[in-house]
Structure 1
Amino acid sequence: MSLHPPSIPESSTNPQPEALAPDDATPDHSVPDRVAPDLGAVPTRARMIRFGAGFLAFGLLWAVGLAMVANVLLPQRLTDIGVASPDAWFGTINSVTAVVSLVSNLVFGNLSDRIRSRFGRRTPWILGGALLGGASLFLVGTLGDPVAIMVMYCVTMVGLNMMLAPAVAVISDRVPLSMRGTMSAFFGAGATVGYPLGALIGASFITATLSGYTLAAILLAAAGVITLFAWPRERSAAHDAPRDAGTFKDLLLSFRPPRRAPDFYRAFAGRLFMLVSYQMIAAYQLYIVQNYVGQSVVESAATISTMSVITLVVGLVASLGAGPLSDKIGRRKAPVIVASLLFAVGVAMPWIFPSTTGMLLYAGIAGLGYGVYSSVDQALNVDVLPNQEEAGKDLGILNLATTLGQTLGPIITSSVVVITGSYLLIFPISITMAILGALSIVGIKSVR
């Protein structure tokens, strides 16, 4: 099976559906919420199954590969090579790479809107990012200097976001409105299961980190390649009308955020607060178990593994259930708000019970909340987009909230620990952030 779509002879930005996929769509304009934007027609069930499988594989594979490194192998590697204050170094690396992610997500989202390739707008970036991300993640595990590790990990983030930004835009490009919650659920389920599964697998490689990095690199690269095989081939964009004259000034101006779109920025704030809350705990869970709960390296590996299994199970159930339910009831806000509050309750557990039990309760309750959140939030973000033609760029801006959350969460945790010498205060701060995220979503007016 080829990754490359066939060339389309018609030169039109609004091609006839029959010219694109005569056996894969049913023209029916009486139900606009069921029409796929790229087809201009109602897609078949088989086509939607392929998209669902692709989004599930994509979210699962990249999340497993990255979580293996980010949650276990990287902090353990810093300890193994004997750097002073590995938790501070870990915070620094997370902060720098998050800034790189922030910029690259926006850049590649925008560029994927503008490219006019016979392979489509999104496909070249997804494939290129997969190869770059996988190769650089393997090299991270071969380095013994923290600065070199940080630089190579930045390259990994460039590759990852080269995949992520265009892939998320596919929901806007090719998925009908009535199915976006379900597709978001598949993507969210993959990532929700992938994070704890990655931590679980990473824990099993805690004494054999190079082998762990090799597996993580393969999974990250496979995320893009396998997904492109699973999805129906993207139509050629070679004959589409160019977005503008293509000058450097036009390119710079194209990065402008949307104006007069208050719900867009409310969604941005909701995601930012939630991701700060999530990353404050998730990025430091190994150190929390070791230094806050007081477990040894071997004990902490077992606890992380148990937490991962719990989160995997509840996250999978929540993710696969919440998205289709959101489509059925026609609502996005309520599931996201409830999920944010449920996550806050989960974070309170280790604050109230500073023990293994508290961490396991956190894994179950917060995992359930985050599973629902990740399932529906992406669909909410697509629904508040002010301009579908700029979906890659605007989703890139919304994804900046994720990157900023990934940046600020570890910084806040690291700063609090350095100042107070304890992890105790990070829990109430994380709870506050989750509640602020829920309040931001309450204010959205254009989406139910």
Structure 2
Amino acid sequence: MQAAQSPQSAQAVRPAQSARPWSGSVSDGEQPKAPIKIGIATALGAMLWLGPYLGVNAVLLPAKVQIIDPTNKASIIALLSGSAMVFATLANIIIGGMSDLTRSRWGRRTPWLIAGSIGCFVMLLAFNAVTTVPLLVVTWCVYQIFLNALVAPLVAVIADRTAPKHRGLISSIYAFGYVIGQYGGQLLGAQFLGPKIGTGIIVMSVLTLLCGPVAVVIMREQSSLGMEKKRFTWNMFVQHFIFPVKDCRDFYLALFGKMLVNTATTAIMAYQLYILSDYIGLGTSGQQKYVSIISMLLMVTAIVMSIVAGPISDRIHSRKLPVAFAALLVAIGVAMPMVSNAAWTMVVYGAVAGLGMGIFFAVDQALNIEVLPNAENAAKDLGILNLANTGSQLLGPLVAAAIVGATGGSYYGLFPVCAVVSLVGAALIMMIKRVK
């Protein structure tokens, strides 16, 4: 007859029996309370990579190029942008896939976040030191690789550690940091124009160095050693390093819908100064005044809506409707200058489009997570979805240039076209079936 276990030995066995390896996702039942720490970690992480990146890319990089070769600055910026786009695309997919496959005592995302922070720090210092165009291109492209070691794994943390019922709230917190980084980074970068460009790039490198450590300390990722290890096979390669090919209709609708909405806003933002001068007819002082007003409206409205939109999305149990409504607001905002070439129309654009983008930033990330074809590939697929952001940065100015060129230098046609582009993006998002 087998001896009965003592209460002490039974209690010792229970934890081992109930313990299970980390699966890479959390259900609603397993997470009754919202993981606020995950939201804070990803928000601070987003602010600390996006702010420095835009501070350099939009402000300090053009200023540095102008010093090195003022005659060819436009073509050099185009070369840097195009090269960076290629490297960012490849890095998003490859590093995202490798992050999904990482098995370590520190988890799947932590090693990449730390490596990305250190790599960005080193490459921005190198970028700051170089003084020739070829070395500018090389250091900037290598920086893109390390930057995407932050971007793809960081967003994947939300998919890994947040139950579906909390994703709107956590995406909203993430969006708060994202919006501050997007607008605040350029504002910070502008403070270092002139003889302090080098100091500004060093400051941005230090801020990026903080990104990974700050995020990982707050989120405390658990070990991934217990997760299934994948053997290298053709099917594994296709699953983790190639664009999705199965059960991915909604995934691509979200990708292209997001890209179109972002393209509509970046087209107007890229030509904002020229719209104020050539279409509205403002002088230098008027341009400075209204750029400040519009930028402040875009930032404030986006921040406010990024806070409230996510929880509302959770409460109404819908992702598509808020995102599509946000795209509609963007369409109305970018169409406003059609009404008149008076300066107030651009102010209304800033307010209405800012509201739309705030809602969009807050809820779109939750929508992206819920259209993923396979949760095991979260970092890789979310990295691909991030191409909607990087792609729109390239497409927006190209669309604007094509419209202005086709209409003989008139900016009027830009507004209805951008409105239609945003509405098409909304239509694509509403065609998604998997998400309510």
Give the TM bin, normalised by the shorter chain.
Answer: 0.7 to 0.9
Query: Deviation string for 1:321-367 (max 9, x for gaps)?
Result: 00111011100011101111111222234555556544433332212
Which of 170, 195, 220 pairs up with 1:183? 170
Task: Name the structure 1 match of 2:86.
Answer: 99
Which of 204, 208, 223 pairs up with 1:216? 204
Larger Rg: 2
Structure 1 CA distance for aligned equivalents of residues 102 and 326 of structure 2: 37
Task: Name the structure 2 match of 1:385.
Answer: 372
Give the C-alpha shift of residue 302 in structure 1: 5.6
Structure 1 CA distance for aligned equivalents of residues 409 and 127 of structure 2: 30
Secondary structure in 2 aligned to 1:240? coil
Task: Name the structure 2 match of 1:170.
Answer: 157
Does residue 404 of structure 2 align to residue 410 of structure 1?
no
The aligned amino acid for 2:211 is A
Query: Deviation string for 1:262-286 (max 9, x for gaps)?
Result: 2122112211212222332334546
Task: Name the structure 1 match of 2:353.
Answer: 366
Task: Name the structure 2 match of 1:438.
Answer: 426
Task: Name the structure 1 match of 2:65.
Answer: 78
The aligned amino acid for 2:380 is K
Structure 2 CA distance for aligned equivalents of residues 299 and 397 of structure 1: 40
Structure 2 CA distance for aligned equivalents of residues 74 and 356 of structure 1: 30
Which of 244, 265, 282 pairs up with 1:278? 265
Give the C-alpha shift of residue 168 in structure 1: 1.0
What pairs up with 1:18-97 in 2 under 5 angstroms?
Answer: 33-35=27-29, 41-42=30-31, 44=33, 48-84=35-71, 86-97=73-84
State the number of aligned residues.
Answer: 415
Structure 2 CA distance for aligned equivalents of residues 282 and 434 of structure 1: 14
What pairs up with 1:124-163 in 2 under 5 angstroms?
Answer: 124-163=111-150
Distance 1:136 1:68, change over 3 A: same
Secondary structure in 2 aligned to 1:57? helix
The aligned amino acid for 1:255 is F
Which of 215, 233, 246 pairs up with 1:259? 246
Structure 1 CA distance for aligned equivalents of residues 128 and 73 of structure 2: 16
- Structure 1 residue runs without a partner (length 5+): 1-14, 22-31, 36-40
The answer (yes or no) to whether the contact 1:182–1:323 under 8 Å persists in 2 is yes
TM-score, with length taken from structure 2:
0.84
The answer (yes or no) to whether the contact 2:109–2:153 under 8 Å persists in 1 is yes
The aligned amino acid for 2:212 is G
Query: Deviation string for 1:2-53 (max 9, x for gaps)?
Result: xxxxxxxxxxxxx9776789xxxxxxxxxx8524xxxxx22655xx221121
Query: Deviation string for 1:387-438 (max 9, x for gaps)?
Result: 2122222222322333322332233345556675565544443322211110
Task: Name the structure 2 match of 1:344.
Answer: 331
Distance 1:333 1:222, change over 3 A: same
Distance 1:326 1:224, change over 3 A: same
- Structure 2 residue runs without a partner (length 5+): 1-15
Secondary structure in 1 aligned to 2:104? coil
TM-score, with length taken from structure 1:
0.82
Secondary structure in 1 aligned to 2:70? coil
RMSD: 3.0
Secondary structure in 1 aligned to 2:241? coil
The answer (yes or no) to whether the contact 2:21–2:227 under 8 Å persists in 1 is no
Structure 1 CA distance for aligned equivalents of residues 281 and 62 of structure 2: 17
Distance 1:164 1:376, change over 3 A: same
Structure 2 CA distance for aligned equivalents of residues 300 and 323 of structure 1: 34
Query: Deviation string for 1:63-109 (max 9, x for gaps)?
Result: 22122123322333333444336445434432321222111111111
Structure 2 CA distance for aligned equivalents of residues 289 and 277 of structure 1: 17
Query: Deviation string for 1:154-192 (max 9, x for gaps)?
Result: 222212211111111111111111111111111112112
The answer (yes or no) to whether the contact 2:124–2:205 under 8 Å persists in 1 is yes
Task: Name the structure 2 match of 1:203.
Answer: 190
The aligned amino acid for 1:433 is V
Give the C-alpha shift of residue 241 in structure 1: 2.0
Secondary structure in 2 aligned to 1:254? helix
